Amino acid sequence: MQGEKTERVPIWIMRQAGRYLPEFHTIRKHHSFFEICRTPELACALTLQPIDRYGSLLDASIIFSDILVIPQALGLEVTMVEGRGPVFPEPLVTPSDMERLTKDVNVDEALGYVYKAITLTRHKLEGRVPLYGFIGAPWTLMAYMIEGGGSKTLSKAKTWLWKHPESTHDLLQRITDVAVTFLVGQVRAGAQMLQVFDSWAGELSPRDFKLFSLPYIQQIAVKVKQQLTEQGLEQVPMTIFAKGAWFALEDLVDIGYEVVSLDWTIDPEYARQVTKGKVVLQGNMDPSVLYGGENAIRETATRMVKGFGGQGHIGNLGHGVLPTVDPEALKVYLETVQNVSSEMNK
């Protein structure tokens, strides 16, 4: 995380607690998704499932929650619909709808349930592995709040960028303010690392990413660090995952994050050249390779580890593990990354 020399590449997986695990469904069938998020004991139990299953093959845990808890804290209703994913019954349609958002959100109160889940999980982990907190980046959250859920084109959210640029910046700033307080609160509660998910970064052109995403994710890194110092809390490493934003790699290494997480559209060797050792790189195998059988997984994982060079690298996938993946296939990936990188560092 800090770029220190390690015996092997540490590894964790985005969405490691989730739908590909049968033990997840055992709990999920009795509770709604957001009920789990709001019940610290349940969120903790789900966070620990992959750690218990994979043991020393995983080097970090990530708190079970969702990026959409911020829109909820801002007063929007979000439900999880079977087979469809998250749905906002009343998304933002025009800028006047922003009046429906809660002003001066008391973040620590509204999202205190996440803090409780983090503190409980830290205790239950008993130091086995460190715990990540996370948020969704302002652009990605704005897009969900306007689209009302997942979308192929983001045409509604993009309409705002052109028709309502001022309201767009107001909205991005309001999300950013909540995000900063929330991340600091997660650290106060016990999170030892933070990741910012800009899942829809790659939907923007390079210019639009610079205008509508970069300034806000930069502000988040800078302000979180400032506030941690002001509040007498320890600094924690911060990771930015701007999915699809290969064009912004040079900018992403200079905005205050210690780790840049890559998807599979970027070659490890190329990323090393562009980033010049300024950050630790995370990622980045295509999650679909986990469907390709043991040989394909071993070969691709080996190429990836060698491409990154065995140091200054956190193993992960290039995006979340897919819901229909066989947990044993993920195990092959974890083992390969650990074994290959141990050999390289002998």
Residues designated catalytic: 15, 19, 28, 66, 144
The phi, psi pair for 61, rounded to 5°, reads -120, 160
Helix (H, G, I), strand (E, B) or coil at 102: coil
Considering the complex, what minimum distance in angstroms separates the CB of residue 28 from ligand 1CP? 5
Per-residue mark of binding to ligand 1CP, 144-183 (x: CB under 6 A): ------x---------------------------------
* 283 near ligand 1CP, judged by CB under 6 A: no
The size of the interface with ligand 1CP (CB under 6 A), counted in residues, is 22
Instruction: State the Cα–Cα distance between residues 67 and 86, nearest whole angstrom.
Output: 11
Which of 27, 80, 98, 274 lies at the binding interface for ligand 1CP (CB under 6 A)?
Answer: 80
Which of 11, 21, 33, 304 lies at the binding interface for ligand 1CP (CB under 6 A)?
Answer: 33
* 62 near ligand 1CP, judged by CB under 6 A: yes
* 22 near ligand 1CP, judged by CB under 6 A: no
The piece of 17-25, 204-212, 252-260, 310-318 that touches ligand 1CP (CB under 6 A) is: 17-25
- Residue 24: which of 48, 54, 8, 7 has the closest Cα? 48
Asked whether 285 and 241 are in contact (CB, 8 A), the reply is: no
Compute how many other C-beta atoms are within 10 angstroms of the C-beta atom of residue 257: 25
The piece of 66-74, 228-236, 263-271, 333-341 that touches ligand 1CP (CB under 6 A) is: 66-74
Task: Pick out residues in 81-100 that bind ligand 1CP (CB under 6 A).
Answer: 85-86
User: What are the distances in angstroms from CA 278 to CA 175, 305, 307?
Assistant: 28, 19, 17
Beta bridge partners of 97: none
Considering the complex, what minimum distance in angstroms separates the CB of residue 151 from ligand 1CP? 7
Compute how many other C-beta atoms are within 10 angstroms of the C-beta atom of residue 328: 9
Which residues in 42-161 belong to E strands, given as ranges?
61-62, 79-81, 85-87, 131-136
Which of 1, 9, 11, 17 lies at the binding interface for ligand 1CP (CB under 6 A)?
Answer: 17
Compute how many other C-beta atoms are within 10 angstroms of the C-beta atom of residue 12: 25
Considering the complex, what minimum distance in angstroms separates the CB of residue 321 from ligand 1CP? 8
